[in-house]
Every structure is written in C-alpha cells, then in structure tokens.
Amino acid sequence: MLAALVACRKPMPISVDGSMQYTVFIQDDSGLSDASNFTEVNLIEKVRVTLTSNTYYSRDATPDQYTVYTDQDGKAVFDRLSLSSYNVLAEREVKISDAADGVQNTVFLRAVKLVNLNRQTHHVDTLKIGMTGSRGLMINEIYFCGPVNDANYVHDQFIELYNASGRQVHLDGMMFCKTAIDSFIGMDSVDYVKGIWLYQFPGQPLTGLSYPLNPGEFAVIAIDAYDHTQFIASSIDLRKADWEFFNPYQGDYDSPAPNIINIIPESSNDFFLSTLHGGLILTDGSEWQYGDYNERRRVQYVHIPINTVIDAVEYSSSRKSAKLLTYRVDAGLAGFGATRYSGKSTERRLPGFDSNNSTLDFETINHPTPGY
C-alpha cells in the first residue's frame, strides 16, 4: 500500500512524446499575395510550412521533416509531433508583374522561426511572411566533406557564389578567408573576425569592373578545377569551374580556370576547407591586418574588419560544435549531416535565401550542385 502511495505521488508525465500539436497561422506582411480570401488580417492559404526537427534524424542523418499547406483560413496544423525544437520555414511563391513593362516576376514570401515544442501540448503561433533575402552576393553552397571514397580524397571541394541582388556585382579584389579554428573570448564584441589564409580575386577592390556576376548567376570556385572523376569515380568534374584557388608559393596545380591567388607568402596551403567544422568569410577585400601568430598551430591569423564582410557561413557536420564565427555575421551552422567522405554538400534552401542564420538558411543535399 505504501508502495502504491509513493507511486501515486510521482508526478505524472506532462505529455507523452509524439502527442504535441503545432498550429500556425500565416499572415502576408508584404501585401503581394493574390489570395482570393485575402482578409483584413491578411491570413493566406497555400503557404507551404515545413517543420524540421533539430533532435530526430533518420539513419542517414536526414532530419525528420513535416510539410503542411495552409488552408483557406491561413492555418496549418501539425499533429503527433515529438518533443523537439523545430526550424519552421513558411514560404509561398507569388507572381507579380512590373507596372512599367508588364513583365512577370516570381518572388518568394518567406519566414523562418525556431520553435521549442515542450511541455505544453498545443502550441499556437503566428508567422508573418514577406520578402527576404536578395541582399546581394552570397555564399550559396559549400562542398567540404569530400566524395565517397576510402583514399582521404578531398581535392574536389568547391564554393559556389550566387548573385541574389537585382544588379550586376563585381568580384574584383574580393577575398576569401577561412575562420580561425579556435573561437576566442570577446569574439562577439570586437570589430573584426579572425581568420587564416587569404585568397584574392584579381582586380581592384570596391571599384574594379573587370569580373562581373549578373543577377541570378552562380560562380563556382574550385580548390582545383580539374576532372576529379578520373581519380574517384563518385566525385565531380570541375573543369567548368569559373575560378580556381591557386597558391603560387606551393607548386599548386594550375588548370585553365582563372585563379584566385594566395596573398600570404608564408602560407603553403591550397585553400582546402576543413572537412568537419569550419567557416568561410567573403570580404570586399578593401582592408585586412595581420593578427597574432599561433606557434602551436603554426598559423598566421588575419583580422577582417566586420564592415568589409560580404557574407560568412559557418558549417559543421555536427550540431554540437562550438561557434567559431560571431553571431553578427552568422548566427547558426550549416552542413549538419555532411560527414567526412559522405559526398554530401550544403546549400541554401533556395538561391539567395538568407536570414543570417545558416542553420535555417542551409540544407544538406545528397550530391553537390556546382553552378546550379
């Protein structure tokens, strides 16, 4: 009897896992929607709402994902969810015609949010979707983990840029830098980001007009722009890469693709990306300084003023990694599940989709997509 009493006193579980419900109402914040049931509160139908779990994954590291479209009342209901935090992505394609020339353009209305489903069984939320992204030039894909192989092959790594702005941008004098491998106290308050290695596009920073990238165009930058399938069958052919990282101080292979050149003579590295956890900084190239020299790691740090950073993305195949980049340039982590030699890649959910949080902006894809 005493045992029974003790058992009764034990707090009952507040909810059973798999019993959570998430209801979200989507409002159009842009006024661009053409929904027939457009109401005063701007609730809109046919919005695709996707929940991506941050806790549960299938065996191949694909996160659990659920998609529901909003109904006529602008409502999407997700049933029987597990206790977890979820990335919520709401998006709808809208066609708008330019008043001047009548040309139809497709724009995406989007919103992202991180929700924690815990304790309380029924969650009700409202999200406002509107125009996001299109801020300009950005890092669109990072292929860092290497192809499926057992020969430690990673030479087919590449970076893809995308011009999400409505105007031509010029790559002249821009620089790529890798983040330092250690985070440091105070990194969120100083006016620079700390990195290693600097590779620079030809041309004059800020003012050069020799290397344009048109709106909606991609630029692929290979570590080595050759056909990697001749060495590893599952790899990729990068002969058509637009650019190639080239280190003249190292005896790097110089393929016909134009070069982005190492500007720190003491560095004997080709621009290899860390295969587990790292970060990439694209700067306008107008300013940088030498930082301290790390004896133990034998690396020369450089300081990149934050106001020259065009885009920066931190990635890791594991969610547990400590941040290397200040949240001011990237609040999240791309690349989860792109484990070393898995042949996976990490890419923005849609070209130009940018909320400054790579956890939300990027998804891991099964095969790299250089140039598209």
What residues between 122 and 141 interact with Ca ion by CB under 5 A? 141
Tell me which of 91, 160, 172, 284 binds Ca ion, using CB under 5 A.
Answer: 160
Contacts of 296 (CB under 8 A, 6+ apart): none
* Beta carbon nearer to Ca ion, 17 or 254: 254
Tell me which of 259, 283, 317, 326 binds Ca ion, using CB under 5 A.
Answer: 259
Q: How far is the CB of 334 from Ca ion (least distance, A)?
A: 13
Part in contact with Ca ion (CB under 5 A); list of ranges 3-11, 57-65, 126-134, 258-266: 258-266
Q: How far is the CB of 255 from Ca ion (least distance, A)?
A: 5
* Beta carbon nearer to Ca ion, 270 or 330: 270
Part in contact with Ca ion (CB under 5 A); list of ranges 25-33, 152-160, 170-178, 203-211: 152-160
Please answer whether residues 222 and 238 qualify as being in contact, where contact means their C-beta atoms are separated by less than 8 angstroms.
yes
Q: How far is the CB of 250 from Ca ion (least distance, A)?
A: 8
* Beta carbon nearer to Ca ion, 88 or 137: 137
Q: How far is the CB of 156 from Ca ion (least distance, A)?
A: 11
CA–CA dist 340, 104 (Å, integer):
43
* Beta carbon nearer to Ca ion, 94 or 213: 213
CA–CA dist 84, 361 (Å, integer):
19
Q: Does 361 participate in binding Ca ion (rule CB under 5 A)?
A: no
Q: How far is the CB of 369 from Ca ion (least distance, A)?
A: 4
Q: How far is the CB of 370 from Ca ion (least distance, A)?
A: 6
Contacts of 74 (CB under 8 A, 6+ apart): 25, 26, 27, 39, 42, 43, 44, 45, 47
CA–CA dist 126, 197 (Å, integer):
44
Q: How far is the CB of 21 from Ca ion (least distance, A)?
A: 36
Q: Does 156 participate in binding Ca ion (rule CB under 5 A)?
A: no
Q: How many residues bind Ca ion (CB under 5 A)?
A: 12
Bridge partner residues of 111 (DSSP): 90
Q: Does 270 participate in binding Ca ion (rule CB under 5 A)?
A: yes
What residues between 205 and 224 interact with Ca ion by CB under 5 A? 224
Part in contact with Ca ion (CB under 5 A); list of ranges 9-17, 42-50, 159-167, 278-286: 159-167
* Beta carbon nearer to Ca ion, 74 or 133: 133
Residue 251: CB atoms within 10 A of its CB come to 9
What residues between 223 and 252 interact with Ca ion by CB under 5 A? 224, 244-245, 252
* Beta carbon nearer to Ca ion, 74 or 351: 351
Part in contact with Ca ion (CB under 5 A); list of ranges 3-11, 84-92, 202-210, 266-274: 266-274
* Beta carbon nearer to Ca ion, 332 or 370: 370
Comparing every residue's Cβ against Ca ion, the nearest one is 369
Residues that bind Ca ion (CB under 5 A): 141, 160, 224, 244-245, 252, 254-255, 257, 259, 270, 369
